[in-house]
Amino acid sequence: MKAFWREWRGIILFVAFVLIGFLVIYKLGIVDSFNVAEVSEVVRDMGIWGKILYVIIYILRPLVLFPATPLTLFGGYTFGAVQGTILDIIGAGTGAVLAFWIARKLGKEKIERLIQGKKLEKFDHKIGENGFLVVLYLRLIPLFPFDSINYSMGLSSIRMRDYVAATYLGIIPGAFTLNFLGSSLGQFNWQFYTAISLYAFLIILPWIVKKIKKQLRNA
């Protein structure tokens, strides 16, 4: 038992920390009592410090598994589409790298021992060889859970530089679309419907790419 604790205590303590943070946020009713308009006004009045605070919260967000989408929409609503997108990319990208680094430090070696000699090892090796394209694809499609990608890729053999580059590049379309949508909330105008259309396009993008590849093969 002691050997097991020494081996896995880092992961156990981290998971416990994440779950406690998650429960605290929801049990205290922080989400339910959150008034977007009031908080947004306070953050804007803070000037540059409001933007710094937003980025810091976004960086730490994966540690309590708070959903990324509402925070991104809040950024667009508060700072506008352009500034919100820039702050989102900085915060979300850095938070994703933090989660990746934590998973790699705490669990990568243990996972490698568990899958050694199994089919999963070959699959992990392929991910490592094509890491940039794999992460880029996952980031471009908004259907894949953001934090699941962060932590699972940290446990894989993907090189960190490939993960970082693909993450910061891949989140740009989604970040802009959601910030564009956030900046138009409450205003059912051309901007709102354009943002909805862009988001829908990102969702069906894999199907479009698949159809194009199929047509090229049959040409």
| Residues 211/182, Cβ–Cβ less than 8 Å | no
**pLDDT beyond 90 at 38:** no
Spatial separation of the C-alpha atoms in residues 23 and 155, rounded to whole Å: 25
How many residues can be counted in the chain? 219
How confident is the model over 165-198, as pLDDT tens digits?
Answer: 999 999 998 899 889 888 887 676 677 777 777 7
pLDDT one-digit tens code per residue, 65-103: 788 888 999 999 999 989 999 999 999 999 999 989 988
Q: CA 115 to CA 162: how far, in whole Å?
A: 22
**187: region left, alpha or beta (phi > 0 left; psi from -120 to 50 alpha):** beta
pLDDT of residue 78: 93
Separation between Cα atoms, residue 173 and residue 109, nearest integer Å:
33
What proportion of the chain, given as a percentage, has pLDDT over 70? 73
Average pLDDT, the chain: 80
Average pLDDT of the residues in 196-212 = 74
